A = this chain, B = another copy of it.
């Protein structure tokens, strides 16, 4: 049971690792708590969440929209939610993002917290203060930067997750190791079996180091002006793969990280041995490391990346395992590399 405190522009965020959801009352005024819960999570964990007023949100990216936020505002009114309340998002990244946005804009901001129920949300969406919803097909186009006051991680939620969903989290943990913590990478090489079999002690250890990387980067650049771009490692190609194929986020990012590693190798900043180590670890987590067949569709999706600036894109490369660097490369160069990559 570890506690990490992170002081952002918008306030202090306290992250409690390896707690039980039933301890919530030790950290906030539960008589004013309202839960916003993913429907699937509610079905699996109804008992654990009993006793609180609950707002159910339907799962899935298509429900991450303003209409869902509107329904949450309505329920806030029904439940007399105000600035003395504590809204707690219980679910994966989508639930956290929606809850954070609704709470950050209701009455110009009311207190909120997260109890992430997926490994991905635990190491990613629940920490860093980004929230929001999709708009007209653009991911997270509407949102704010605002830290939750509290993140309570109860690993027992992970027990009901399908392995496919866990893989999304493993990919992000590997990413954090690669961009900011070499020893964590070594550790994952030794412990990936225990981690994949959900040994909660190992999970806590890995999650706490993984979060430390994210928090370190976010602290330097809360509103994404430079340093924070490092968190995008593997995601430029990854997002294109996700759009163009049926790959899950974790699978797409895994391949994206291999592509970025190979580009780093080409640029001479990463050794071939390290590229091989990266591929091997990802395979340990049952994550793919090869580009799908239809490369042209991926290259096409890359050309439409909304983060590009003119013909350039900020691309995150590795300077060894544990150290990332941001370079502007041209879309043309990236295309070339992808065509050559197996």
Contact = CB atoms under 8 A, between A and B. Distances in A.
A284 interface: no
Nearest to A130: B108
26 contacts: A9-B9, A9-B10, A66-B66, A66-B70, A73-B136, A73-B141, A73-B142, A74-B136, A77-B136, A77-B138, A77-B141, A101-B105, A104-B144, A105-B105, A105-B143, A105-B144, A106-B141, A107-B141, A108-B130, A108-B132, A108-B143, A108-B144, A108-B223, A108-B224, A109-B144, A109-B145
A77 to B, nearest CB: 6
A105 B144 CA distance: 5
Nearest to A146: B144
A140 interface: yes
Contacts of A144: 104-105, 108-109, 144
| Interface size of A as a range | 20 to 34
Interface of A: 9-10, 66, 70, 73-74, 77, 101, 104-109, 130, 132, 135-136, 138, 140-145, 223-224
Contacts of A130: 108
A214 to B, nearest CB: 17
A142 B109 contact: no
Chain copies in the assembly? 2
Contacts of A74: 136
Nearest to A143: B108
Interface centre among A106, A135, A138, A145 (most CB of B within 10 A): A135
A108 B73 contact: no
Contacts of A73: 135-136, 141-142
A134 B109 CA distance: 15
A77 B105 CA distance: 21
Contacts of A106: 141-142
Given A66-B70, A73-B135, A136-B77, A142 B9 contact: no
Interface centre among A10, A107, A144 (most CB of B within 10 A): A107
A131 B144 CA distance: 13
A303 B101 CA distance: 31
A140 B9 CA distance: 24
B108 A140 contact: yes
A135 B76 CA distance: 12
A8 B136 CA distance: 33
Nearest to A131: B108
Given A104-B144, A105-B142, 10 more contacts: A73-B135, A73-B136, A73-B141, A77-B136, A77-B138, A77-B141, A105-B105, A108-B143, A108-B144, A108-B224
Nearest to A77: B136
A101 B107 CA distance: 12
